[in-house]
């Protein structure tokens, strides 16, 4: 599991609005970029918030709540589905050991 995933920043938002909602928070900017890539791969438009603050001042991460992954409210349901699929291993590549057997020796 990548990290904490949460509800929306403002759960009262209209899903047809242009407001952004938080679909996940992660402790690591690297993990946040990985999740952003997963969401982009399913044609969503994620953005990261507080990434630079966490990267430059890692001790502030708990105070900031980590790096937030945001999507337009209209994409929130699809983002939650993609995150659940990712965390269940749906996007996992085949084990590289199958393609490149270890040298015996």
* pLDDT value for 101: 56
Contact in structure between 5 and 27 (CB atoms under 8 Å): no
As a whole number of angstroms, the distance between CA 65 and CA 67 comes to 7
Q: Please give the model's pTM, rounded to 2 decimal places.
A: 0.72
Kindly state the helix (H) or strand (E) to which residue 3 belongs, with its residue range.
Answer: none
Model pLDDT for residues 52-75, shown as the tens digit of each residue: 999 998 888 888 889 999 999 999
Q: How confident is the model at residue 51 (pLDDT cuts 50, 70, 90)?
A: very high
pLDDT of residue 7: 45
Which sequence spans correspond to the domains of the chain? 20-89
CA 51 to CA 67: how far, in whole Å? 5
**pLDDT greater than 60 at residue 15:** no
Count of other CB atoms within 10 angstroms of residue 54: 24
98 pLDDT higher than 70: no
Token pair recorded at residue 41: 């791969």
Residues in the chain: 105
């Amino acid at each position: 599991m990548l990290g904490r995933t949460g509800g929306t920043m403002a759960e009262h938002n209209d899903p047809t609005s242009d407001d952004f909602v938080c679909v996940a928070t992660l402790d690591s900017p690297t993990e946040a970029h990985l999740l952003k890539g997963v969401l982009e791969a399913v044609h969503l438009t994620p953005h990261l918030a507080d990434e630079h603050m966490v990267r430059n001042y890692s001790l502030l991460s708990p105070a900031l709540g980590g790096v937030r992954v945001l999507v337009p409210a209209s994409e929130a349901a699809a983002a939650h589905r993609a995150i659940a699929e990712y965390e269940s291993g749906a996007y996992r590549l085949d084990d590289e050991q199958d393609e490149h057997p270890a040298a015996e020796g």
